[in-house]
Chains A and B, each alone.
Chain A
Amino acid sequence: MASLLALGGCTDSGSAGTDELADASESKGATGSMDSSEGLESSEASSASDSSSSTNSTSATSESTDGSETGMTCSYPKGAVEPMALGEVLTPYSWTTAIHADGTTTSLDLFYAPCDTDEVIDWSIHEILVFISLPAW
């Protein structure tokens, strides 16, 4: 289990401070579509302004097989680079407006994808993200 979490950027590292939590909440709340602080009530997140050294993390409490609680921290993968490059971590870009084909309109913040902590978007059902970038002309 731990090795799988590590692959996903999930480690047993310590949690981030409340100032950083505020940063993350501010980022998500900018859309006005939700109060992200509710979604982070049992977690803490940080958002570094320099994406190349991003250390965003979200703490979560999981239950081990023996029923005891274990503190785990799921983090956005470190090492994002600009400009984006093959074989490198993508910057946790965000958009204040995203429209799904089913009509759902919300903000979309990649920061929440790896750990599936978005309040609206259920990232857990997708193991892969495919970005198709195109101009209209």
Chain B
Amino acid sequence: MQVEQQILDAGAEIIWVLETDSFLQPGTAQGCRDLVDSFGSTHGWCVGDGDTHPVPTTFDNSPFSIGRGFDIIVPRETMVIEYATNHGTPGGNENITGEELLAQIQLIADSLP
């Protein structure tokens, strides 16, 4: 996952959130790690949405989660969601590429003071 390294190089940290496992049960950190490792991921933190506090499954129930998953970009100092996109089965999902996500991160990074 070369894009992962480029995301880090752009000053960003990745937080993978596993919404549900393959049996539709709330995701766990270990399940997340196992999944993204299988993708070839070598960076970032993994958490499970079943363990989200104060309300479990907050990400799965997020308005950004249209049918499947989503990405949000948040500057650390402001914690404001500056960009959101969704991915999953085509049809209502934007499904941008990793390179396009990287471009958005770089755009936001360049706008920071």
* A contacts, CB < 8 Å to B: 4, 7-9, 27, 49, 51, 76-77, 80, 83-101, 105, 108, 110, 113-114, 121, 123, 125-137
Contact = CB atoms under 8 A, between A and B. Distances in A.
- Size category of the B interface is 35 or more
Given A90-B74, A127-B12, A132 B69 contact: yes
Contacts, number: 205
Given A84-B64, A131-B71, A134-B69, A100 B78 contact: no
Nearest to B20: A135
B29 A97 contact: yes
B69 A133 contact: yes
Contact of A128 (B51, B54, B69, B105): B105
Contacts of A96: 51, 53
B79 A89 contact: yes
B35 A131 contact: no
Contacts of B101: 130
Contact of A101 (B24, B42, B62, B81): B42
Interface in B40-57: 41-49, 51-54
Contact of A99 (B7, B13, B33, B54): B33
B15 A114 contact: no
B7 A134 contact: no
A121 B76 CA distance: 13
A109 B17 CA distance: 13
